[in-house]
Amino acid sequence: MKKDDEYQNVNKMGNMLWGAVLIVLGIIFGLNALDICDIDIFFDGWWTLFLIIPALIGLCSENEKTGNLVMLFIGVFLLLGCQDLVSFEIIWKLMFPVILVIIGLSMIFKDSFANKITKEVSKINRNSTKNNEYCATFGGQKLDFSNEKFSGCTLNSVFGGIECDLSNSKIEEDCVINACSVFGGMNIYLPKDVNVKVLSTPIFGGVSNKTRNRSDNKNTVYIKATCIFGGVEIK
């Protein structure tokens, strides 16, 4: 299926990039061992590569860029500080403001270049007459919609957790679940006779979608998720 192929291509790209990194490291270590060259990979600030390399690979292989951009900025500035090109005093002063700017720009441009899913989510939210809201703050909440007609909801978890069970609910039309997880977590269980499409804004967090779409499913559940140091898992 198209969505499965997209995920496979993303995973393939990530694996290829990580494989290339390991090959380069292997060649460098081999050449050093044979005294063909002397490449010092333990330069001042070498440990920042554990931030920079994963961020660069994530930018190339993942759809969501915000978290990787923030991690890349932190890694590069720390490397410049270790190389005495920028003072750490300036780095600490600028780090938080620049991170806020990166996140803000990401959110603005993500909405500006709206794709098909974004437009569909906005349309359903705009036309929705009933959208129940549930919140878990410093605690947990379990929601069970068994044998109920479900037409969408809003879930907010702040330092808390939400378990939303829709596996036996009645979904008779396309609907949206607006999910926001801040230092929290969510588990959303969906019936097998619906398709799932995700629109996410992860900031040091993410969405894990373990469902499979089928061509014979009539209705679609759109998950619009914002994850800030939190996560949403769809099953």
Q: 137: Cβ–Cβ under 8 A, 6 or more apart, which residues? A: 156, 157, 158, 159, 160
Own/partner contacts of 134-138, CB < 8 Å, gap of 24 or more, are 134/162, 134/164, 136/160, 136/161, 136/162, 136/184
Q: How far is CA 25 from the centre of its chain?
A: 28
Q: How many CA atoms lie within 13 A of 53 on its CB side?
A: 13
Higher pLDDT, 101 or 64: 101
Q: How many CB atoms lie within 10 A of CB 204?
A: 13
Compute the mean pLDDT over every residue in the chain, rounded to the nearest whole number: 80
pLDDT score of 157 = 92
Q: What is the pTM of this model?
A: 0.57
Please state, for a pLDDT cut of 90, what percent of the chain lies above it.
11
State the pLDDT confidence band at 6, using cuts at 50, 70 and 90. Answer: very low
Scanning 46-149, the segments in alpha helix (DSSP H) are 49-61, 66-82, 88-112, 116-127
48's torsion region: left (phi>0), alpha (psi -120 to 50) or beta? Answer: alpha
How confident is the model over 41-86, as pLDDT tens digits? 778 888 888 888 888 877 776 656 677 788 888 888 888 899 888 8
Q: Which two tokens stand for residue 223?
A: 């998950």
Task: Determine the average pLDDT of the residues in 219-225.
Answer: 88
Higher pLDDT, 84 or 119: 84
Residue 211 has pLDDT above 90, yes or no: no
Distance CA 74, CA 98 (A): 10
